Homo-oligomer: A and B are copies of this chain.
Amino acid sequence: MYSIRTDLALEAKEIAAQGQETPDIPGLWSEAESKDGITVTRMEIKDNQAAQRIGKMVGHYVTLEVPGMRQGDTELQDKVATSMAKEFEAFLQRIGVTPKHSVLVVGLGNWNVTPDALGPIVVENMMVTRHFFELMPDQVSPGYRAVSAVAPGVLGTTGIESSDIVLGIVEKAKPDLVIAIDALASKSLERVNTTIQIADTGIHPGSGIGNKRKGLTKDILGVPCIGIGVPTVVYASTIVNNTMDMVLEHMKQHTDNTDPMFGIFGKMADNERLQLVREVLHPLGHDLLVTPKEIDKFIEDIANVIASGLNAALHEAVDTDNVAAYTH
């Protein structure tokens, strides 16, 4: 059966809660906070039951939703970077990563496919310092951590699973923590390039745009892995289903009975309707992944925000009040 697949825990929770009387799900804690156009949702999946219900791993998830992100407002971007840095520092503390611990940042995805280039662009903007610690440990200024960064490429262009490449590098560079950045598929167009998810569960097979078959997790890498994801594409079928939801919702506000208007289609469950749409689009090869026209600029902006946030969170000497100045 078709299901509404999403890489975002927040969306997975919304789907799981659909049709319930209360939005609560046992074993799942969450809180949300909105300020300056940024909504931060902190979520914990506490047990396997909740994990199975939602279809996401036990662990912590933070989501930053910034609807204004696509406007190119640099002040807002600085605020998002600062906010992300603060949330990320909480992850480091919870995992027990101290300023002495070294970090490897992994930018998953394909340089040459703009909506999949998020990871490589973040890597390019990281303040990399590990070699100074290796080559002249006495001369490194205080307030910096040993950070390394790689963009391992994708299976289709390297011929090697990204997770194998990362594992090989981890065994040589021996970081205490891996941070993996990846572009995701979203269940709704409005989340594309406006949402950042941080999760201490790493990266899982089947998530992301590329067809990863192995993940990047503590089990596989031997060290903790924090995953950072941004939805950058959406299936055409998802847009259709998502929009029809909105159309139906819109109609319900104007009429008591939408039956004459939409018939059975209007009463279908979300995933049934999606299944119908996919059954029609898929055989024709029309269920493409799409991305907004302005993707080049959007990717550049959000990659800079993430790199700024990470640089501030990883190096004490880098100030969260002015993180953006450290990237270009």
- Residues of A in contact with B (beta carbons under 8 Å apart): 74, 112-116, 124, 128-131, 146-153, 155-161, 164-165, 167-173, 189-190, 209, 233, 236-237, 239-240, 243-244, 246-247, 250, 259-266, 276-277, 279-281, 284-286, 288-297, 325, 328
Q: Is the CB of B328 within 8 A of A157?
A: no
The residues of B that contact A279 with a CB separation of less than 8 Å are 250
The 10 tightest CB contacts between A and B, nearest first, are A168-B168, A130-B159, A148-B159, A263-B263, A290-B290, A128-B159, A164-B172, A289-B293, A168-B172, A240-B243
Q: Taking each of A151, A233, A259, A279, which has the highest tally of chain B beta carbons within 10 Å of its own beta carbon?
A: A151
The oligomer's copy count stands at: 4
Nearest B residue (CB) for A325 = B74
In the bound assembly, the distance between CA atoms of A38 and B262 in angstroms comes to 39
Nearest B residue (CB) for A127 = B159
Q: Taking each of A148, A155, A169, A250, which has the highest tally of chain B beta carbons within 10 Å of its own beta carbon?
A: A169
In the bound assembly, the distance between CA atoms of A240 and B146 in angstroms comes to 41
Q: Is the CB of B171 within 8 A of A160?
A: no
Nearest B residue (CB) for A232 = B293
Known: A128-B159, A239-B239. A295 touches B291 (CB 8 A): yes
Q: Is the CB of A189 within 8 A of B288?
A: yes
Q: Is the CB of A246 within 8 A of B159?
A: no
Q: Is the CB of B165 within 8 A of A159?
A: no
In the bound assembly, the distance between CA atoms of A277 and B262 in angstroms comes to 13
The residues of B that contact A146 with a CB separation of less than 8 Å are 159
In the bound assembly, the distance between CA atoms of A276 and B169 in angstroms comes to 44
Q: Is the CB of A260 within 8 A of B264?
A: yes
In the bound assembly, the distance between CA atoms of A10 and B293 in angstroms comes to 23
Nearest B residue (CB) for A273 = B247
Q: Is the CB of A116 within 8 A of B293?
A: yes
In the bound assembly, the distance between CA atoms of A190 and B129 in angstroms comes to 30
The residues of B that contact A276 with a CB separation of less than 8 Å are 247
The residues of B that contact A152 with a CB separation of less than 8 Å are 150
Nearest B residue (CB) for A132 = B159
In the bound assembly, the distance between CA atoms of A279 and B249 in angstroms comes to 13
Distance to closest chain B CB from A269 (angstroms): 15
Known: A239-B240, A263-B261, A265-B261. A189 touches B290 (CB 8 A): yes
Q: Is the CB of B171 within 8 A of A280?
A: no
